[in-house]
Chains A and B, each alone.
Chain A
Amino acid sequence: MATSFDVIILGGGPAGYVAAIRAAQLGLTTAVVERDKLGGVCVNIGCIPTKALLHSARMANVIRHDAKDLGIATGEVTTDYGVAMKRSRREAEQNSKGVEFLMKKHKVTVIRGSGTLAAGRRVKVGGDTYEATKGLILATGSRVKGLPQVGLEIDKAVVISSDEALFLERAPKTLAVVGAGAVGCEFADVFSAFGTKVTLIEALPKILPLEDAEASDAVAKSFKKRGIDVIAGASVKQATVGKDKVTLQVEAGGEKRAVEAEKVLMAAGRAVNTENLGLREAGVELTDRGFIRVNPVTLETSAKGIYAIGDVAGPPMLAHKGSREGVHAAEVIAGQKPHAIRYDNVPSVTYCHPEVASIGLTEAQAKEKGLEFTVGRFPFSANGRARASNETDGFVKILAGKKYGEILGAHIVGGHASEMIHELAVARENEYTVAEVDLAIHAHPTLSEAIAEAALDAMGRVIHI
């Protein structure tokens, strides 16, 4: 095997493997070092398997609650998490194989093993040393972490993380989920559909704390309706971990409560993989928060010729942000001057039901910035397609600048929010205002009409309410 490449990438997650493909497209000889499975967290224990489980969950809920009304007789509906889990594993495996195929197709060398930096832009893997002549990219990603301060060290049996939840053979009877960001909400949704009594605990005042308050409220309402116990603004004071149960002392709104559960799923933050890489020796600096410090224009670290992308390079810790950085870093190394990444225009999506998708500012942020804006809203309950497909939960909300109608932020809650947000991402990327969004003719009947209506509403011209 060659020992010298134009580009070497440490980590084969969505940031690293996409960087590799782009580098290869640009004619650079490229190698990816991966110690585990190609595709990283996202493909193997993140985005993809969770979405497979969420599909099972959604189908279970639809069949359970709507089938009869839709004219479908089912008899008694039972669920088996083990079966759903196995299907999610197959999808993840398939996806990882797909990445392997893409590496072959683009003649990217995959070096198996754990890599560390050595002097002079070199990487050591086991006993071998490889040299990156043009650029070295760090894409080592992140991992789960517990809350040892309150006694919630992940023990993989009672105190678990997404890493274990994705491999359970059966759904626990009761589950406490600590942390109600995207991952916490998605697992709460999944397990609740598989018959688990779920308690969802969030320290900040609302679940999905990074989303617009209205979106958070809509999801909380839907969760409560399905019997999920949502406790927000709550801090876990203490945890007593037994052999097959855990008791959490939770304080919320001045009140103390004990939450008992068979397992507790930790979904409050992730730790980045920056240890044992030889970063300090290589002159790669970290930020105060522990991410690798990069120049946002070039993604180069404080060490010349070494770049960082994906979760290790800082928030938002999302696969699509990492992939974009991968493309960007490869282009910079190839000598191109790619257009700067707009970190304020990265869509954020939670795939529970109803889905929450957003881009740009929340209403609270826009207020805090002292911006003058109007809010355009349209509920799916007034949308024909949503009614026809029984997806009337949720709304589209657009914050438009008062003077020019620029789209400051957009928030969609609803059955297919994740697919719909991109219309507004394209609009924002190209600086279309609500006027241009409305001018584009939206097919009828579609959920997307709600976007056009919300844009109209921001201009005071909504049609269907």
Chain B
Amino acid sequence: MATKVVMEALSPTMEEGRLIEWKKQEGETVAAGDVLAEVETDKAVMELVARAGGVLRKQLVPAGATVPVATTVAVIAGKDEDIAALLGNGSAAPGAGAAKPAQGAAGAETAAAAETAGAAETVATAETAAAAGKAHPAPVVAAAPAAPATPADGGRVKASPLARRIAAERGVDLAGIAGSGPGGRVVQRDVERAPVAAAPAAGAAPRPARALPDEGYADEPLTQIRKTIAKRLVQSIGPVPTFYLTAEVDMERAWDAREALKALGPEGKVSFNDIILKAVATALRQHPACNAWWQDDHIRYWRDVHVGVAVAVEDGLITPVVRHADRKTLREISAEVRDMAGRARERRLRPEEYTGATFSISNLGMYDISHFTAIINPPEAGILAVGGIIEKPVAADGQVTIRRRMQVTMSCDHRVIDGATGAEFLRTLKTLLENPLALVW
């Protein structure tokens, strides 16, 4: 008897799953309990197993597709059993999100695959065949309910042939990309900006390092786990689910360095804030995961580092932005901050000078505040609150000495930055500030 294989709820909170890889191909005989496919849920990569034996007659969803729980993804039946009835309504399973396989990358491949499949499988459309055909490693293109490129009726992803080619070659999942072409069509520039997705064959392996493209940023589609984290945290704590990380930094060497610069004359006058800004920018460069924007349906990882500095003005606060701060010298940063802070107080900043930060700093050290938390400026994912440099007794090498110490507290948007990610960033920052020479290294 023919059986539908459905996307099962493999975890209690799972609402949709991404079919990473088919483990059984069309035409293969399967027994109940055999692993049919690997599925990424909101929590982990799990196995989808056959509930009945027979021949895997039809895969209805290509690798890479995200479908809601209960969507039919395949049909198991006898070798010659008529499954037309099941296919008729099978793929149009519940809701708007049902994914249909998308067209292959190159027309040539589509055509070739259609030929192969057409002979064996009368019910297959050319498109299905191209996506599922095994003789032709069709690119992973599919519809996901959340993907803007997917039409609401769950049809195929709209993408240009060139976009499909690039996606196939780079292993990018078109379904996760917001198309900027006519009618939301995914075009070349969209794919080139998209980060490389998890390689399907790698299963549960960690995600490959983000390849940051030449543009200033890379938009990364939300993985199931990130989606779940985001949803739950927002419910629990408010629109920007924030947590805080505090570290104490030894500022002796930074102090000495600043004094040494000062001795060079008026030219050499830099503030601690400038030094911290430089260190933050350098650390962000090494931790792009903290240099990002939350964009509701994706995360924008910035390649450029633009650091905002909160400046108190008469009746509020404004945040001038030091653009490309990671590429600027301390002297340049110092001059720029001084200039912009001055103009900020006079209300003479141009809008482009106080927007577009990828991370911000708020410093209340000059008010003798030892520790505080700052509020994130959305869509930025982090802000660093800097306290004053205070002399205090510190135990080191079994001795108590008096040292200049500073507390910094990072507010992190948990949808983007996890505890460990933020902690690693802070550790780098601390190292840089405690060895200021590293800033010019």
Q: Using a CB–CB distance below 8 Å, which chain A residues touch chain B?
A: 339, 403-406, 430-433, 435-436, 439
Asked if residues A404 and B169 are in contact (CB atoms below 8 Å), the reply is yes
| CA gap between A406 and B181 in the complex, in Å | 16
Q: Which residues of B lie under 8 Å from residue A439 when comparing CB positions?
A: 107-108, 111
A401 to chain B, nearest CB (A): 9
If A403-B169, A404-B169, A406-B188 touch, does A431 touch B111 (CB 8 Å cutoff)? no
Q: Which residues of A lie under 8 Å from residue B307 when comparing CB positions?
A: none
Asked if residues A405 and B165 are in contact (CB atoms below 8 Å), the reply is yes
Among the stretches B70-78, B82-90, B156-164, B355-363, the one at the interface with A is B156-164
20 A–B contacts from the bound complex (CB under 8 Å): A339-B181, A339-B182, A404-B162, A404-B165, A404-B166, A406-B188, A430-B161, A431-B160, A431-B161, A431-B162, A431-B187, A432-B161, A433-B106, A433-B161, A433-B162, A435-B106, A435-B108, A436-B107, A439-B107, A439-B111
Q: Which residues of A lie under 8 Å from residue B111 when comparing CB positions?
A: 439
Contact bitstring B149-180, A, C-beta under 8 A = 1, else 0: 00000000000111101100100000000000
Contact bitstring B73-106, A, C-beta under 8 A = 1, else 0: 0000000000000000000000000000000001
Q: Which residues of A lie under 8 Å from residue B162 when comparing CB positions?
A: 404, 406, 431-433
Asked if residues B161 and A435 are in contact (CB atoms below 8 Å), the reply is yes
Q: Using a CB–CB distance below 8 Å, which chain B residues touch chain A?
A: 106-108, 111, 160-163, 165-166, 169, 181-182, 187-188
| CA gap between A405 and B108 in the complex, in Å | 13
Asked if residues B169 and A436 are in contact (CB atoms below 8 Å), the reply is no
Interface hub of A404, A431, A432 (most chain B Cβ within 10 A):
A431
Shortest Cβ-Cβ A-B pairs, 8 listed? A431-B160, A431-B162, A439-B107, A404-B165, A406-B162, A436-B107, A435-B106, A339-B182
**A-B pairs with CB below 8 Å: how many?**
35
Specify the main secondary structure of chain A where it touches its partner.
loop
For A427, the closest partner residue in chain B by CB is B161
Q: Which residues of A lie under 8 Å from residue B106 when comparing CB positions?
A: 433, 435-436
For A404, the closest partner residue in chain B by CB is B165
Q: Which residues of B lie under 8 Å from residue A406 when comparing CB positions?
A: 162, 188
Asked if residues B169 and A435 are in contact (CB atoms below 8 Å), the reply is no
Q: Which residues of A lie under 8 Å from residue B107 when comparing CB positions?
A: 435-436, 439
Known contacts A404-B162, A431-B160, A433-B106; 18 further A-B pairs (Cβ under 8 A): A339-B181, A339-B182, A404-B165, A404-B166, A404-B169, A406-B188, A430-B160, A430-B161, A431-B187, A431-B188, A432-B160, A433-B161, A433-B162, A435-B106, A435-B107, A435-B108, A436-B106, A439-B108
Interface hub of A405, A433, A436 (most chain B Cβ within 10 A):
A433
Interface hub of B162, B163, B165 (most chain A Cβ within 10 A):
B162
If A431-B187, A431-B188 touch, does A436 touch B161 (CB 8 Å cutoff)? yes
| CA gap between A439 and B114 in the complex, in Å | 14
For A428, the closest partner residue in chain B by CB is B162
| CA gap between A431 and B189 in the complex, in Å | 11
Q: Which residues of A lie under 8 Å from residue B166 when comparing CB positions?
A: 404
A263 to chain B, nearest CB (A): 49
| CA gap between A162 and B181 in the complex, in Å | 40
| CA gap between A404 and B187 in the complex, in Å | 13
Q: Which residues of B lie under 8 Å from residue A403 when comparing CB positions?
A: 169
| CA gap between A339 and B187 in the complex, in Å | 13
For A459, the closest partner residue in chain B by CB is B108
Q: Which residues of A lie under 8 Å from residue B160 when comparing CB positions?
A: 430-432
| CA gap between A406 and B165 in the complex, in Å | 10
B191 to chain A, nearest CB (A): 10
Q: Which residues of A lie under 8 Å from residue B182 when comparing CB positions?
A: 339
B119 to chain A, nearest CB (A): 20
| CA gap between A430 and B162 in the complex, in Å | 9
Q: Which residues of A lie under 8 Å from residue B169 when comparing CB positions?
A: 403-404
Q: Which residues of B lie under 8 Å from residue A435 when comparing CB positions?
A: 106-108, 161
For A438, the closest partner residue in chain B by CB is B108
Q: Which residues of A lie under 8 Å from residue B188 when comparing CB positions?
A: 406, 431
Q: Which residues of B lie under 8 Å from residue A433 when comparing CB positions?
A: 106, 161-162, 165
Q: Which residues of B lie under 8 Å from residue A432 when comparing CB positions?
A: 160-162
| CA gap between A217 and B103 in the complex, in Å | 43
Q: Which residues of B lie under 8 Å from residue A339 when comparing CB positions?
A: 181-182
B331 to chain A, nearest CB (A): 32
| CA gap between A436 and B182 in the complex, in Å | 19
A66 to chain B, nearest CB (A): 40
B378 to chain A, nearest CB (A): 25
A87 to chain B, nearest CB (A): 41
For A401, the closest partner residue in chain B by CB is B162
For B189, the closest partner residue in chain A by CB is A431
B144 to chain A, nearest CB (A): 21
A455 to chain B, nearest CB (A): 12
B25 to chain A, nearest CB (A): 26
| CA gap between A436 and B166 in the complex, in Å | 15
| CA gap between A405 and B165 in the complex, in Å | 9
| CA gap between A436 and B164 in the complex, in Å | 12
| CA gap between A432 and B160 in the complex, in Å | 7
For B159, the closest partner residue in chain A by CB is A431
Q: Which residues of B lie under 8 Å from residue A436 when comparing CB positions?
A: 106-107, 161
Interface hub of B107, B161, B163 (most chain A Cβ within 10 A):
B161
| CA gap between A436 and B160 in the complex, in Å | 11
B48 to chain A, nearest CB (A): 33
B16 to chain A, nearest CB (A): 29
